[in-house]
Homo-oligomer: A and B are copies of this chain.
Amino acid sequence: MSRCKLSRVIIAKLRIVTSRKPMEFDQWFNAQLNARPIDPIRLAEPVPVSDLPTPALLLDEARFEANLARMAQWSKTTGIALRPHSKMHKCPVIAHRQLALGAAGICCAKVSEAEVMQRAGIESILITSPVVDERTITRVSELARKNAQLIVVVDHPEAVMRLEAALAQRQATLKILIDIDPGLGRTGIAPNEALLALLQMIDRDCPHLVFLGLQTYAGHCMHIPEFDKRKSKYQRALATGAEARNVVERAGYSVQLMSGGGTGSIDFEADLGILNELQAGSYAFMDIEYRDIESNNGPTFEDFSVALTVLVTLISQPKPRTVTVDAGFKSLASDKMPPQFKDVDGLNYYWGGDEHGIVALDNPSRTLQLGDKLELLTPHCDPTVNLHDYYYVVRDGYVQELWPISTRGCSQ
């Protein structure tokens, strides 16, 4: 198809989405979710990395595949199921690869993420945040009607009753986990009477909810750099999960699923023996924050290697010892430390605003020229991925495939 013809077709299709004819809100909302690309784009000719428009999110395919294989092996060895968190990669292509390697399913942070993943053919989905308002409960009930494998966490009796009502109306059932707060203080309940009351209410009043077990996600422990400190804090956090399981089991209910943990807890899970499902996300790509924690094997966490970078271009040199690159807050998450350059020493990145990074030169290990392309290691992979529309998948210095970040922005 010629370029012009292609563009005409796309614009014609576009006019439908942005039609001047008024649409119902739900119709529009569904249409924009359904319009997201989910399949890989294959390029007719491989493009050298040095020719890409920047900033570009690069995925080193060999490293990425090694990371997936390594975690699949961990799951096999420990007997702990792997349910990768798709909020990190936001990409059905990657979710399918994880499932092909034996993952038990995926996690989604929000309902709109789950809707796109389900459209992409993924059924075993756990939504890890509570859903509480009418609109979201309606959407999750619709999802449940079509997908018997869907699981959602709950942590509040009011939301549970709304969910039950919406499911009853649709004659649908939904599997649930009760969310336990292991000290993160974000969502979940304590392992006390509130937990027991919630469970009994579900058992008594909610025939459309199927209690499956508990979620206990200790995100506050994952990035503690010191190995022993991380281990002991995590152990204390998971004790809350163990206590919750006891409360549930003492009341005569069985806990089929204990879900939680992440990339930073793989060295402890098997010993602790509390979780039977790991929600790790970052292991697939890695980032500076995770790389810099101590592991079982040494001062940095090298079980997985950094596969994700942002390619940038050197666009200016305002001073002799300063250069400027074309990526700032809009291409690199800024909630953590600044990014670092890959394979070059003596370059220090400072935030230069929305679109720029200012780079101090401290005796750099290679010469630099205007127009040079450089790779940045990302500080925090999840919110960095969310700033981009596609992965440029790199093998041997060339890109021949692009993977859409289909659930970018799906936080609803």
Q: A155-B316, A316-B130, A330-B383 are in contact. Are A28 and B41 (CB under 8 A)?
A: yes
CB distance from A120 to the nearest CB of B (A): 11
Are A30 and B18 interface neighbours, CB within 8 A? no
CB distance from A94 to the nearest CB of B (A): 15
Whether A117 is near chain B, meaning CB under 8 Å from some CB there, is no
Whether A149 is near chain B, meaning CB under 8 Å from some CB there, is no
Q: Which of B187, B315, B333 contacts A324 (CB 8 A)?
A: B187
| Residue of chain B at shortest CB distance from A13 | B13
Q: What chain B residues lie within 8 Å of A316 (beta carbons)?
A: 130, 132, 155-156, 186-188
Whether A201 is near chain B, meaning CB under 8 Å from some CB there, is no
Query: Could you give, for residues 303-329 of chain A, a 1 whenever the CB lies within 8 Å of some chain B CB and a 0 otherwise?
Result: 000000000011111110010101101
Bound-state CA distance A136–B187 (Å) is 46
Query: Could you give, for residues 126-147 of chain A, a 1 whenever the CB lies within 8 Å of some chain B CB and a 0 otherwise?
Result: 0001111111100100000000
Are B358 and A387 interface neighbours, CB within 8 A? no
Bound-state CA distance A386–B387 (Å) is 8
Q: A34-B11, A327-B411 are in contact. Are A354 and B313 (CB under 8 A)?
A: no
Are A219 and B186 interface neighbours, CB within 8 A? no
| Residue of chain B at shortest CB distance from A384 | B329
Q: A10-B17, A412-B54 are in contact. Are A326 and B110 (CB under 8 A)?
A: yes
Are B55 and A411 interface neighbours, CB within 8 A? yes
Query: Could you give, for residues 13-56 of chain A, a 1 whenever the CB lies within 8 Å of some chain B CB and a 0 otherwise?
Result: 11111111111111111111011111111111101000111111
Whether A158 is near chain B, meaning CB under 8 Å from some CB there, is yes
Q: What chain B residues lie within 8 Å of A67 (beta carbons)?
A: none
Whether A249 is near chain B, meaning CB under 8 Å from some CB there, is no
Bound-state CA distance A24–B94 (Å) is 23
Q: A185-B322, A186-B353 are in contact. Are A22 and B10 (CB under 8 A)?
A: no
Bound-state CA distance A29–B133 (Å) is 38
Q: What chain B residues lie within 8 Å of A351 (beta carbons)?
A: 335
Interface size for A (C-beta < 8 A) is 112
CB distance from A108 to the nearest CB of B (A): 10
Query: Could you give, for residues 51-63 of chain A, a 1 whenever the CB lies within 8 Å of some chain B CB and a 0 otherwise?
Result: 1111110000000
Are B30 and A44 interface neighbours, CB within 8 A? no
CB distance from A125 to the nearest CB of B (A): 16
Whether A269 is near chain B, meaning CB under 8 Å from some CB there, is no
Question: Which of A1-9, A71-79, A291-299 is near enough to bind chain B?
Answer: A1-9
Q: Which of B18, B56, B130, B134 contacts A39 (CB 8 A)?
A: B18
Query: Could you give, for residues 170-211 of chain A, a 1 whenever the CB lies within 8 Å of some chain B CB and a 0 otherwise?
Result: 000000000001000111110000000000000000000000
| Residue of chain B at shortest CB distance from A316 | B187
Q: What chain B residues lie within 8 Å of A389 (beta carbons)?
A: 32, 409
CB distance from A276 to the nearest CB of B (A): 24
Choose among A30, A54, A129, A354 the residue with the greatest number of B CB atoms under 10 Å from its CB: A354
- 18 A-B pairs besides A6-B27, A10-B34 with CB distance below 8 A are A11-B34, A12-B13, A14-B35, A22-B42, A28-B402, A32-B389, A51-B134, A134-B371, A155-B316, A156-B317, A186-B356, A188-B316, A326-B411, A329-B382, A329-B383, A331-B411, A334-B335, A389-B409
Chain A residues at the B interface, C-beta cutoff of 8 Å: 1, 3, 6-7, 9-32, 34-45, 47, 51-56, 87, 109-110, 112, 129-136, 139, 155-156, 158-159, 181, 185-189, 219, 313-319, 322, 324, 326-327, 329-331, 333-335, 351-356, 358, 370-371, 373, 380, 382-383, 386-390, 399, 402, 404, 409, 411-412
Q: List the 8 closest A-B pairs by CB distance, nearest first.
A: A13-B13, A22-B44, A53-B412, A187-B316, A18-B39, A334-B335, A18-B37, A329-B383
- Listed by A's residue number, 13 A-B pairs whose Cβ atoms lie within 8 Å are A3-B30, A10-B31, A12-B13, A13-B16, A14-B36, A25-B45, A87-B354, A132-B313, A155-B316, A156-B317, A156-B370, A186-B324, A387-B387
